[in-house]
Each structure stands twice: as structure tokens, then as C-alpha cells.
Amino acid sequence: ETGVTQSPTHLIKTRGQQVTLRCSSQSGHNTVSWYQQALGQGPQFIFQYYREEENGRGNFPPRFSGLQFPNYSSELNVNALELDDSALYLCASSFRNYNEQFFGPGTRLTVL
């Protein structure tokens, strides 16, 4: 196991609602990245936080936002949920942005 934890493990929401997903990074890591993985696809980069600042963003709309806290844990917030937001959301922690990433078990989000 990597030491990266995510909560909740599963979540069901309806279209238009808002959701907050949480991630605790591995001890000693200062970087957290978030990914969206649709069924049968590779993980798609949402954004990365390095020392509490956003350090790169993928092709996701502004309703996807995030935070990193002083203890390097992180949140992913998604507003105005759409059906296509249904996916596995993975967070990954690393020591720097170019190092190997350690993934958490993910949060499975279903939007009805």
C-alpha cells in the first residue's frame, strides 16, 4: 500500500449537485495530483498542487477546483455535476512534480 488515502470510496450524486473529494498524501510528499479515469480509459490529468499552489492544469472546466492544505492533503471540488463526471477520481502524491507518483485507491463517483 502507498499510504495515500482518499475519501469517500464511493459517492452517488445527482446532476447539478456539488461534490468534495479528499486526499491525504503520503508522509514526506509535498505534491498532489488529481486525475479522472473513465471506464476503460487512462487517467486524465485534472490539476496538480505543489506546496499549496496550483502547478499545472489539464483540460477541465473551472467548475473543477482544488485546494492543498499546509499538511499537503488536498481536496477536489466539482460544481454543477454532469452525467459525464461519473468516473473514478484518483489522487497521487509525490515528493516533487517530476518524481514517481503514488496513487490512492480512488473515489468512484456516480452522477445520476
Residues of this chain that interact with other proteins (CB under 8 A) are: 2, 31, 33, 35, 41-45, 48, 50, 55-59, 90, 92, 94, 97-106
> How many angstroms separate the CA atoms of 92 and 100, rounded?
9
Look up residue 10 and give its three cell numbers.
464511493
Shortest CB 64 distance to other proteins, Å: 14
Nearer to other proteins, 15 or 51 (CB): 51
Nearer to other proteins, 9 or 17 (CB): 9
Sheet with 19-24, side-by-side order of all strands: 5-7, 19-24, 74-78, 64-68
Shortest CB 87 distance to other proteins, Å: 13
Nearer to other proteins, 8 or 16 (CB): 8
